[in-house]
Amino acid sequence: MPVKNRFAELLPEITEWRRDLHENPEILFETHRTSALVAEKLKEFGCDEVETGIGRTGVVGVIKGKSDNSGKTIGLRADMDALPILEATGLDYASKTPGAMHACGHDGHTAMLLGAAKYLAETRNFDGTVVVIFQPAEEGGGGGREMCEDGMTDRWSIDEYYGMHNWPGMPVGSFHIRPGPFFAATDTFDIHVEGRGGHAAKPHETIDTTVAASNMVMALQSIVSRNADPVQQIVVSVTSFETESKAYNVIPQHVHLRGTIRTLTPEARALGEKRLKEIAEASANVYGATARVEFHPGYPVMTNWEEPTEFAAAVASRVSGSCGEAPLVMGGEDFAYMLEERPGAYILVGNGETAPVHHPGYNFNDETIPAGCSWWAEIVEQRLPA
């Protein structure tokens, strides 16, 4: 029986898991209920090994094929965590946890990988080993890094990694991928501007931090427009401007700026950090103020390996009939840490015309499940033919 037909049969069951996860979202590493549910399912499916507490609250399941002549192990990864967003979908299975919501579809990713694990444990129609990886804290917590630092790759002798993300705006069940840099590095910064506060009616007696910081915000845009190579992708966004004063008649002593720099190459990343500090300090100095810059390296660039990407695209075409070229994404993805340790690839699967991810009206499209599960299963059966 073709894989996709089997997942069509399993769709009601997998949908039930997905909606339960949606109703009970957990943030960052606090995926205790989710992790327990995943571990329970993997044991129920008959996985040869189920380990919890990897990368704090991650779960790993091991499924051995009918034979192991290949000696190869493939890692399949799904993320489990939700976002700190108040849900506004009105669904009958909407979040029961105020201020937490599966607004990025990780409930769908987890459910699809569970579905694939159920099938693979039933059939074992492959030669080698599959490691199914359920990761916490993708949304800014670096759960992928934590699982790698826990020794996951070497402990299970993983040779390749494959990951998937749903994508609103693409037809349901369609696939898109690209080799090389795919998702951006996600560095953040804090800038503390210090001046001399005073009465708003006497600006000449102050060093006005709001003027200095305002000009700094605008000057930082010159990193993109005048410092970076025009063919290099780089984004500089100041996302917060805070002072300690809420009064109308006080020029504040201190302004705190927060923001992010997104890049797709090591060279652009280094340039962004260098110019951020130079521009902030020089802009403050023009107005007699000072600037203290804190640069926080985030997720590295997620880079797809060329041959695994070609293979992943061929599998996607086998499942859905074709595989398109994905756009470059300036968002981050901590699957990058796994791809730094081993070859592999990350693919997008269409979620249809839904609200965008990270939106309070977003919902994972359950019609995507058969295609997503089929891709996972075909990755294994085609890469490790029995």
- Rounded to a whole number, what is the distance in angstroms from the first to the last CA of the chain? 16
Asked if residue 148 lies in contact with residue 62, where contact means CB atoms within 8 angstroms, the answer is no
Asked if residue 109 lies in contact with residue 17, where contact means CB atoms within 8 angstroms, the answer is no
Give residue 3's pLDDT. 64
Give residue-wise pLDDT tens across range 121-164: 999 999 999 999 999 999 999 999 999 999 999 999 999 999 99
DSSP H or E segment with residue 302? strand 302-304
Does the 185-296 domain belong in CATH 3.40.50.1000? no
Give residue-wise pLDDT tens across range 219-256: 999 999 999 999 889 999 999 999 988 999 999 999 99
Q: DSSP H helical segments within the chain, as ranges? A: 3-23, 32-45, 106-123, 143-149, 152-155, 209-220, 222, 266-286, 306-320, 336-341, 369-383
Pick the CATH number of 3-182+301-383 from 3.40.630.10, 3.40.50.1390, 3.20.20.60, 3.60.9.10: 3.40.630.10
State the sign of the Cα–Cα–Cα–Cα dihedral 103, 105, 106, 110. positive
pLDDT of the chain along its 386 residues, tens only? 456 788 999 999 999 999 999 999 999 999 999 999 999 999 999 999 999 999 999 999 999 999 999 999 999 999 999 999 999 999 999 999 999 999 999 999 999 999 999 999 999 999 999 999 999 999 999 999 999 999 999 999 999 999 999 999 999 999 999 999 999 999 999 999 999 999 999 999 999 999 999 999 999 999 999 999 998 899 999 999 999 889 999 999 999 999 999 999 999 999 999 999 999 999 999 999 999 999 999 999 999 999 999 999 999 999 999 999 999 999 999 999 999 999 999 999 999 999 999 999 999 999 999 999 999 999 999 999 99
Asked if residue 155 lies in contact with residue 149, where contact means CB atoms within 8 angstroms, the answer is no
SS3 135: strand
**Residue from 269, 276, 264, 347 nearest 302 by CA:** 264
- The angle at the Cα of 186, spanning 344 to 192, to the nearest 5 degrees, equals 160
Give pTM, 2 decimals.
0.95
Phi then psi for 130, rounded to 5 degrees?
A: -115, 135
Cα 314–chain centre separation = 24
Cα 132–chain centre separation = 17
Number of residues in the chain: 386
Q: Two tokens at 293?
A: 């810059």
Domain ranges across the chain: 3-182+301-383, 185-296
Query: Strands 73-79 and 198-199: what pairing?
Result: unpaired
Neighbour tally for 174: CB within 10 Å: 21
Contacts of 244 (CB under 8 A, 6+ apart): 252, 253, 254
Distance, CA of 338 to CA of 137 (rounded, Å): 14
